[in-house]
Amino acid sequence: MPELPEVETVRRTLAPWVVGEEFRSVTVLFEGCLEGICGKDLEARLEGRRVDALFRLGKYLGFSLDDGSRLVVHLRMTGRLIATESRDPQINAYTRLVFHFASGKALRFDDLRKFGRVMWFQDQTSLRARIRVGVDPLGPGFTPERLAAWVAGRRRPIKSFLLEQTHVAGLGNIYADEALHRAKIGPWRQAGSLSAGEIEALHRAVVSVLEEGVAHKGTTLRDYVDGDGRAGEFQTRLRTYGREGQPCLECGQAIERIVLSGRSSFYCPRCQR
DNA sequence: AATGGCCTGGTG
DNA sequence: CACCAGGCCATT
């Protein structure tokens, strides 16, 4: 499931390939993947525009275009953006949309579950009005002090807090569990109950697990691939996620699973308190 | 803050 | 055939 490391990997693989390209047309196979704009209008907005840069906002991937507008894609759970070519974009049963470029390149958006979304914004301001995400945990805005201020007084489980995108943007179910294990904090703990030391440890764990995720080009459990269609490698390094009943790699205790905020949470009952 | 809906393939 | 996976938004 694309979380920060996966979206960042897609951004890095697609950027050198797509920056400088000029949109020619858009083929919409599933109108439902568009949010706030219809296929006809999207094509009109994109035609002739060049891609200046690719950026990431939490789990959103954005294209900065040469007129100041922004094309934004959210892969949700099973979405894929694949670099291909207009002559043979290799459309399949899950292809929802294809962007065609003047050079003959094409960018295919596939999504088995139809949860992914494609949006267009006139400018950065309208984008930020719609995409409300907090600071990037790999950027300078994420500090132990700010983390402490955000969790202060919060009674919900720290795992649920980490899944909110409004303060720290980019963690999903997998990396949140992995970060909590590294920080030795139980996912059920009330966010506001963390000590200064635990907040420091959690901050460090979030940064390190995301950096490692990026270094290993993301986690592929099932659907995720990068812009070149390649799977990630971080799944081999997961310490808790999906490992219920298997021994903790730190202490050997069996990993357990509980449900928080309606989502599975995997943790080590000995290491995490 | 908690819940339901959006989706479909895979599993028990 | 029922149920689960899950990011995000709307609703309660």
Q: pLDDT tens for residues A236-258?
A: 999 999 999 999 999 999 999 99
Q: Kindly report the bases of strand B lying within 7 A of a protein C-beta atom.
A: 1-4, 6-9
Question: Which residue minimizes Cα–C1' distance to B2?
Answer: A261
Q: How far is it, in rounded angstroms, from Cα A203 to Cα A167?
A: 13
Q: Which whole number is the average pLDDT over A59-72?
A: 96
Question: Which pLDDT does position A262 carry in this prediction?
Answer: 83
Phi, psi of A216, deg, nearest 5 = -100, 15
Give the active site residue among A11, A45, A56, A59.
A59
Question: Which pLDDT does position A54 carry in this prediction?
Answer: 97
Q: Which whole number is the average pLDDT over A117-122?
A: 95
Question: Which pLDDT does position A61 carry in this prediction?
Answer: 96
Q: Which whole number is the average pLDDT over A112-140?
A: 93
Question: Which pLDDT does position A203 carry in this prediction?
Answer: 96
Residue A68 has pLDDT above 90, yes or no: yes
- pTM comes to 0.97
Phi, psi of A112, deg, nearest 5 = -55, -50
A247 is catalytic: no
The string of DSSP codes covering A14-75 is HHHHHTT-BEEEEEES-GGGEESS-HHHHHHHHTT-BEEEEEEETTEEEEEETTS-EEEEE-
Residue A14 has pLDDT above 90, yes or no: yes
Q: Let me know: does A74 contact A12? Beta carbons within 8 Å.
A: no
Beta bridge partners of A157: A190
Residue A88 burial (CB count, 10 A): 8
* Strand C contact residues in chain A (51-90), C-beta within 7 Å: 58-60, 74, 76-77
Q: Let me know: does A258 contact A188? Beta carbons within 8 Å.
A: yes
* Single-letter code of the amino acid located at A77: M
Residue A19 CA distance to nucleotide C9 C1' (Å): 31
Is the CB of A132 less than 7 A from some atom of nucleic acid strand C? yes
Average pLDDT, chain A: 95
Q: Which whole number is the average pLDDT over A225-232?
A: 95
- Tens digit of each residue's pLDDT (9 = 90 or more) over A94-117: 999 999 999 999 999 999 999 999
A2 is catalytic: yes
Question: Which pLDDT does position A225 carry in this prediction?
Answer: 95
- Tens digit of each residue's pLDDT (9 = 90 or more) over A148-189: 999 999 999 999 999 999 999 999 999 999 999 999 999 999
Question: Which pLDDT does position A261 carry in this prediction?
Answer: 82
- DSSP letter at A227? T
Beta strands A256-260; A263-267: pairing state: antiparallel
DSSP-based three-state secondary structure for A157: strand
Residue A44 CA distance to nucleotide C12 C1' (Å): 39
Q: What string of H, E and C letters represents the secondary structure of A92-120?
A: CCCEEEEEEECCCEEEEEEECCCCCEEEE
Q: Kindly report the bases of strand C lying within 7 A of a protein C-beta atom.
A: 4-9
Confidence band of A1 (pLDDT split at 50, 70, 90): confident
Reference A155, options A110, A113, A194, A107; nearest CA is: A194
* Strand B contact residues in chain A (155-184), C-beta within 7 Å: 155-156, 160
Chain centroid, CA A110 distance in Å: 16
A200 is catalytic: no
A184 is catalytic: no
Residue A199 has pLDDT above 90, yes or no: yes
